Amino acid sequence: MMQLPKGYFILPEALLLKRYLIVIILLSLAGGGCSRCNSDKSKAPASNVEEKHVFSNSVTDIDGNNYQVKSIGGQDWFTENLRVTRFVNGDPIPEIQDKQTWEKTRTAGRCNFDNDPSSAIRLGTLYNWHAVADPRNLCPKGWHIPSEQEWSQLTQFLGGDAVAGGKMKSQGNDRWAWPNSGATNESGFNAIPNGYRSNAGIFYVLDTYTFFWTSTGYSGEEALSKFLQNDYDGVTTIENNHNFGFSVRCVKDRD
């Protein structure tokens, strides 16, 4: 196997995941891989989290979907994955089911996991990064897709990348595959596993991973994303091709 420098890994088609700070993911069909992982071993007292996350009002998107919101470390976050089908201006976000069409699309697109409409209610919708970057906006007015810096603010408040994932994941094994390492959901973020769609249009790892887009681009055809997994306590940052299908969370605009 190719030896990679510390903090680096790649993403081909089948995923081989290890419960270490250096995560190696093999995903041969994916095309757009990962060349950087960020982790932080520092820990914050659990009481710090408990004191500063509080319930806020719910928010409704243009389709009438309602989302619970929580304040965590001074930021207001959706506690559910976005499932909107239209941009804020009312324009539809095209649903793309066909694998080849998904792979070739260079404009905004969305899908449900395994093209199952019922999964949107349980898991939220998967969006390509073209939809994330579209100026018509996915998130409701007054909200936006968080940047990498805003994600980092969240994870640092929760004790650093190496431990924040457990504080963000829903508890138990009714959704997450065993062992669901470190899962306490003490932040109230309520991250659930919902897999992803590769840039080749193939769906993967429903019960072991959840991926979230950031609004931060990385290169001409890549952007930064965050992922959590069933056998790791942390949050990992990676670069992915714009045609991957990942979940989206919204964070409130600052006044």
Contact 188/53 with Cβ under 8 angstroms? yes
pLDDT tens per residue, range 158-193: 999 999 999 999 999 999 999 999 999 999 999 999
In a domain, 210, yes or no: yes
Structurally, the chain folds into a number of domains equal to 1
In a domain, 6, yes or no: no
In a domain, 165, yes or no: yes
In a domain, 54, yes or no: yes
Contact 150/218 with Cβ under 8 angstroms? no
In a domain, 11, yes or no: no
Enter the pTM of the model: 0.80
pLDDT tens per residue, range 57-69: 899 999 999 999 9
pLDDT tens per residue, range 127-156: 999 999 999 999 999 999 999 999 999 999
Q: Please provide residue 52's backbone torsions phi and psi, each rounded to the nearest 5 degrees.
A: -110, 0
Which structural domain, as residue segments, surrounds residue 208? 46-252
The torsion angle over the Cα atoms of residues 205, 207, 212 and 217, rounded to 10 degrees, is -10
In a domain, 30, yes or no: no
